[in-house]
Amino acid sequence: MIIASQKPIEEIRETIKPYKKVLIAACGTCVTVCLAGGEKEAKELADLLSLSGDQEFRVVTPKRQCDSEFLEEFDKDVSWADAGLSLACGVGVQYLAERCTGKPIIPGLNTAFMGTNRDAGYWTEMCQGCGNCVLEKTGGVCPVARCSKSHFNGPCGGSSKGKCEVNDSIDCAWQLIYDRLKSLNQMERLFETIPPRDWSTSRDGGPRKIRRPDVAIEEVTE
C-alpha cells in the first residue's frame, strides 16, 4: 500500500492562500488506511482551515483518485472551487490536475513509500518498485528498499547488533536476510554474488508503463 503523511498545516495554508473556495479531495483507499488523507482527515483539515473564516471549503471523498470512474462527484464540485487540495498520493494529485484545465490542484500530503502497517499508527517501507524483484534470492527481505545503501551482496561494516548505521531504529536488512535464509535453510544463497543491477526497469529507465494487450480494447503499437 502507498503510505503518505500530511504536509505541515502551515505549508498547506500557505499554498492555498490565494484561493477563496477550496475543494478538499480525500481519497478512500491507501491514504485512508494510512490515516493521512481519508474523509476524517479531510474534514478535520476543512474545520481547521476554516477557523479563520477567510476561505470556504468543501470535502469530497472518491473511492480512489487514481481512477477516473470514481471522480464524477469531484468533477461536479470542482467547478464550484477556485482550487483543489488533494489528500491523495502523488498519483491522485496529478490525475486530478490532468482533469482540471485551468484550475490548480495542490498536494496536501507527502507521499512517502510503499509499505506496511506494523501496528496502530506505525508504517514501514518495504518496496521501492524497482521493477525487477529479487526477493526470492534474499529470503523475502528487500535489499533495495530496506538496506540504506541498497547493498546486494551482504551488509556494510556499519551493521551493528542487527541495526543500521544510519540509526538504530532501522533494522539492518542484511541481518533480516541472514536470519530468514538461515531459517529457510538457504544459507548457500548468501555466497552467491549478485551482479550489478539493471536499473532500467526502475525509475532510472524513465517513466514506466505497463500494458496488457489481452485486456486492451484497441491495438496499441509501441
Partner 1 sequence: MKTILAGKSRYMEALRPALHDAGFDTIAVETVSELKELPKEYPVILLQDTALNPLITNKKAAEKAIHGLEPKDLIVFLMDQNQDASPYIENCVLHIASHLAGLKRNIAVLLRSSRASDSEFDERYRTARKKGVAFVKYESIDLGSDDGKTRIELWDGRAKLTMETPLCILCEASPASELYAFADALHVRTYGDRAVSGSRGVSGGRWFLNQGTTLKRNVKLIHTDSLDQDVRSIVPSLIRELKKLYEPGQEKIAFVDSKKCAFCYTCYRVCPHSALAPDEDNEAMKAEELLCGGCGICVSVCPAGAISFRETEPEGTSDFREAEPDGTSEGEAVAQHTEAIGQHMAVMEQGTGASGKEVPKLKIFCCENSAFPLSAEALSGINAAIQPVACGGEISTSMVLEALKQYDSVLAAVCSDDACKHRDGNKRCTKQMERLKERLEKLGYNPNRISSVRIGITMADILREAALTALKGEVR
Partner 2 sequence: MSEGKSRLQKLFESGAFVVTGEVGPPMGADAGHVYHAAEALSGIIDAANVTDNQTSILRMSSIAASLLVQQKGLEAVVQMTCRDRNRIAIQSDLLGAWALGLRNLLVLSGDHQSFGNDRHAKNVYDVDSVQLIKMLSDLQRDGVFYNGKKAKGVPEFFIGTTANPFADPEELQLIRLKKKIQAGAKFVQTQSIYDIDKFEEWMEKVRAWGLHQEAYIEAGVLVNKSLRSIEMTQKVPGMDIPDALVERMRNAEDPKEEGIRIVLELIERIKKIEGISGLHIMAVGWEEIVPVVVERAGLSPRPTIE
Minimum distance between the CB of residue 34 and partner 1, rounded to whole angstroms? 8
Minimum distance between the CB of residue 160 and partner 2, rounded to whole angstroms? 6
CB 134 within 8 A of CB 143: yes
The reply to whether 10 sits near partner 1 by the rule CB under 8 A is yes
The reply to whether 95 sits near partner 2 by the rule CB under 8 A is no
Select 13 or 189, whichever has its Cβ closest to partner 1. 13
The reply to whether 180 sits near partner 2 by the rule CB under 8 A is no
| 27's grid cell | 481519497
The reply to whether 58 sits near partner 1 by the rule CB under 8 A is no
The reply to whether 65 sits near partner 1 by the rule CB under 8 A is no
Which residues 6+ apart lie within 8 Å of 120 measured at CB?
none
Minimum distance between the CB of residue 215 and partner 2, rounded to whole angstroms? 35
195 CB neighbour count, 10 Å cutoff:
8
By a kind-dependent CB cut-off of 5 to 8 A, residue 165 interacts, out of partner 1, partner 2, none, with partner 2
Q: For CA atoms 36, 39, 45, 49, give the dihedral sign.
A: positive
Stretch that binds partner 2, among 71-79, 116-124, 133-141, 159-167 (CB under 8 A): 159-167
Report the Cα 192 to chain-centroid distance in Å.
32
Select 104 or 162, whichever has its Cβ closest to partner 1. 162
* Size of the chain in residues: 222
Directed axis angle between helix 9-16 and helix 39-49, to 10°? 70
